[in-house]
Amino acid sequence: MQPGLLINRLTTPEVAALSICSMPNVTRIHASKQPRRPHHIADWAELRGFKQADIVRETGADKSLVSRWFNGSTPGLEWQDKLAELFHTEPESLFRHPDDDWLRRFFEDRGREEIERIKATLETAFPRKRA
């Protein structure tokens, strides 16, 4: 019997049971694949003066893989570690723009009162221009 004919003969509950039984295999097959997550690898590369070819050479990644990263594909965890090391940052920082990451690190471990003083100083030194 052809595989398609078997599915056609099964009732709806049987098809649902068949699908549920096979789901763990799908999860296991794709366990190493990262969910798509917006990142700023191109921004980090630009900040550090790297071209795609430089990243290929420095990380040992395949040229097509690096190209996919620059087109929005999320690198796997092992590549995130290598990229973070190359860009002199933390893996989680790849998912923030380098400017946002700098600000996060600047305000890290500062108290609320100190942050408010810094903000007031910045607003005084750099007033917004009114249109």
Tell me: pLDDT of 6 over 70: no
Domain residue spans of the chain: 1-31, 41-125
Encode pLDDT of 10-66 as tens digits: 444 444 444 445 445 545 555 556 677 899 999 999 999 999 999 999 999 999 999
Architecture of domain 41-125: Orthogonal Bundle (1.10)
In this prediction, residue 52 carries a pLDDT of 96
pTM, whole model, 2 decimals? 0.62
Start-end of H helices in the chain: 3-9, 12-29, 41-48, 52-59, 63-70, 77-87, 98-107, 112-125
The whole-number pLDDT of residue 31 equals: 58
